[in-house]
Amino acid sequence: MRISRARRRAGLSMAATLPLLAGALALGIPSASADSAPGGRDALQGTKPAWATAQADQGATADSGKVSVRVHLAGRDAKGLAAYAAAVSDPSSSSYGKYLSAEEAQARFGATQQQIDQVSQWLKSNGLTVTGANQHYVSATGDVAAAEKAFSTQLRNYRKGSRTYHAPSSTASVPAGLSDSVLAVSGLDNAPRKSSHDETLPPPDAVFRNAGPFSSYYGSKTAGSLPSAYGAKVPYAVKGYTGKQLRAAYGAGSWTGKGVTVAITDAYASPTIAKDASEYARRNGDAPYRSGQLRQVLPADYTKTEECGASGWYGEETLDVEAVHAVAPAADIVYVGGASCYDADLLDSLNKVVDHRLADIVSNSWGDIEANETPDVAAAYDQVFKMGAVEGIGFYFSSGDAGDNVASTGTKQIDVPSNSAWVTSVGGTSLAVGKHDAYQWETGWGTLKASLADDGRSWTEFPGAYTSGAGGGTSSTVKQPSYQRGIVPDALAQANGKPRMRTAPDIAAVADPNTGFLVGQTQTLPDGSLGYDEYRIGGTSLAAPVIAGVQALAQQAQHGRPLGFANPAIYARYGSSKYHDVTDHPLGAGRDLAVARVDFTNGFDAADGLLTSVRSLGKDASLKAVKGYDDVTGVGTPAAGYINSYR
C-alpha cells in the first residue's frame, strides 16, 4: 500500500515539469530557466502551469475572483545552505557529520524577521491580506486584481480536462528588491480551490482479511492441487512476515535502534494506533513499547477528510509504525500527522520535524507522479530536506507502487518527492525468507496476475496482467547527483536524453504484498462494530519504514551519531557484500518465480466465494532488476554486513 497525495493540490500549483529552482550543483540540482520578467523584477520560475495553453484559454478571470497564495521564503543564504548540506553529508568531506542544532540551522540559514516583514508588507501594499507568516512562508488571500498587481501577471481561465481553473498567463515575478527573500510562490492557480472548514476524522475502513492457505515462511506450503506455473508447482503466499523474519533477512543481529528516534509523516492520524501497535507487538513477538516510546504530534484541525480518504491513511500509519518497531524495537517513534493529504499540509509536517529536531530519520510513504510536480513545490520540499541535512536528519521516501507508471498514466516517469536529489528513494522487492528465518533470495517487485480457470485446470491468459510493482526510472527534472556518478549506468541516467539525470530508487527492501508484512489494525467489522484484525500488506510503503528501521540500527552501530542525509554513504558501500545484489532471476536465467494466492471475493469471509490466482514475481513493467545498480532496487537491499559497516 502506498498513499498518494491528492492529484489536485490546495494552495500549491501542480502542472509543469520544469527544472528545480535552486540547490547544490554537486547534488545535481539544475538552476532555473531564464523566464523573462518586467524591468526591475525577478521571475518566479514555474508559476505558469503547463496546462495553461493558448488552446485551453477561456478568457480573463474576473477581477473579483479570490486567490490564496503562499510565498515561500528563501532564508538568509540559500546557496550556503545547499553547500553545507552537501558537505556534512559527504563522507570524504572534512565537514562530514558536523551537524548544526535546529537553532543553529535557523540562525544561519533560516528566514529573518526582516524578510518576513518585507514580504508581508509588500503583499499588503498590493491589496492582499496576510493570513499567516512564519520562518518558511507568508500566506495571503485577496482578489484576482490584487494578485495580478502583486505578481505582475494576468490570471486567465483555462480548460483542464473537464473543468476550468484560473492560472497565470505568464511567469509571475516579484520586485528585484525581494529576490533574496522569495524562493517561490504557490497558489496562483486554483486547481482546485482550497477548503478551509474543519472536519472530524471518520471511522476506520471496512475490515480486510487474507483467505489462505498460507505459507508460514517462503515455500513452506506448496499449492499441490493447483496448476503448475513456469513448469513447477508454486508455494502459497506467506501469511505475512513478522519482525523476527525481517530482522534476520536484513542482518539486524543484536542491534535494536536504542537511542535513535524515527519520525513518520502521513496525513491524519489513526485514533487507535497506540492500542493496535501494542496488541500487534504482543501477538507477534515484538518487544513491548516503553512508556513514551510511541507518540504523536498532530495538527489542531483536519481538512479534506473525504477527498483524501482519511480513514485509508490509518492503515498507512499503522503499517509504518509497526514496521519500524518490528525492525528497530528499541527506537523511539514520533508520528507527525498532516491536516490533509495536500502538499501544504505535508510540508508543514516535515517542517515540524526539522524545526524542532524531532527525529534523526524520517520515513514517508506517500507521493505523486513527477508530471504533477512543479518547481515551486519542488523548491519548498528541497529546502526542508536541506535544512534537515544540516541538522543530521535523513528523509526516506517510498519510490511508488506503479512501476514505470505507464500502465497508470500512459507516460514513463518516476514519483515525487522520491525524485529529489536530497532524499533516499526506497524501492521494493519480493522477499523469500525460508525455514529458521534464513534469507533465501529477493527479486525486484513487479507482479503479473493470472486467475484460476473455471475448470480449475489452468491459469487464464498466463502469466497475466500487470498489477503493481516498485516505482523507479529516470527523472525528467532533476540532474544526476554526484553520489550517483559512475554507479548508475548511462543507459538509465540518460534514458530521457543526453544529460545525465537523477535515477530512482537508491536502495530497496521488501514491498511485494504477496511476500508482505503482517499488520494489526482496528477496522470496521461486517456488523458495523470495531475490532482488531490482522492482514498481510506490502508496497513501497512497507519498504520505506523497513529501511528507516535498518538505518536506525546502523545509527546505533555508529555509536548513536546521526547518519543524516545518507545517500553518499549508501552509494559509497555500493558493489560490496554489504548489499544483496537483487535480480529478477535469483535462481538462474530462465527460472521464473511465482506464488499462489487465495482471496475472499468480498474481502473478509467466504460467503461470496474465493478468488484463486497465481502471482508472477520479478515482472516490473519495463523496469528490470539486474546485476549492479538498477531502477527497481537501486544499489540493492541491506545484507548481513551492512549495519556493522557503520561501527
248 closest CA partner among 637, 647, 646, 520 = 637
pLDDT digits (tens, 9 = 90+) for 560-606: 999 999 999 999 999 999 999 999 999 999 899 999 999 999 999 99
CATH architecture label of 243-646 = 3-Layer(aba) Sandwich (3.40)
pLDDT tens digit sequence for 243-296: 999 999 999 999 999 999 999 999 999 999 999 999 999 999 999 999 999 999
Give the phi and the psi of residue 515 in degrees, each rounded to 5. -125, 40
- Give 314-371 pLDDT, tens digit per residue: 999 999 999 999 999 999 999 999 999 999 999 999 999 999 999 999 999 999 999 8
Evaluate whether 622 touches 230 at the Cβ level (below 8 Å).
no
171 has a pLDDT exceeding 90: yes
Is residue 398 within 8 Å of residue 365, measured between CB atoms? yes
What number is the average pLDDT over the span 532-557? 97
pLDDT at position 7 is 33
The model's confidence at residue 19, banded by pLDDT at 50, 70 and 90, is very low
Preceding omega of 638 cis (within 30 degrees of 0): no
360-404 pLDDT per residue, tens: 999 999 999 998 888 888 999 999 999 999 999 999 999 999 999
Contact criterion met (CB below 8 Å) for 276 and 521: yes
- pLDDT, position 15: 28
Domain range summary for the chain, segments of one domain joined by +: 3-75+111-186, 243-646
Report the helix count and the strand count for the chain, using DSSP H and E: 14, 30
Query: Residue 200 — pLDDT band, cuts 50, 70, 90?
Result: low
For 596-606, write each residue's pLDDT tens digit.
999 999 999 99
Residue 23 has pLDDT above 70, yes or no: no
Q: Confidence band (pLDDT; 50, 70, 90) for 22?
A: very low
% of the chain at pLDDT higher than 70: 93
For residues 536 and 538, give the distance between their C-alpha atoms in angstroms, rounded to a whole number: 7
Buried-state track 353-381, b at ≥16 Cβ within 10 A, e below 16: bbbebbbbbbbbbbbbbbbbbbbbbbbbb
Model confidence at 310: pLDDT above 90: yes
Residue in 524, 571, 643, 311 with CA at minimum distance from that of residue 424? 571
Torsion angle of the four alpha carbons 217, 3, 32, 109, in this order, in degrees rounded to the nearest 10:
-90
Over residues 76-124, the pLDDT tens digits come to 999 999 999 999 999 999 999 999 999 999 999 999 999 999 999 999 9
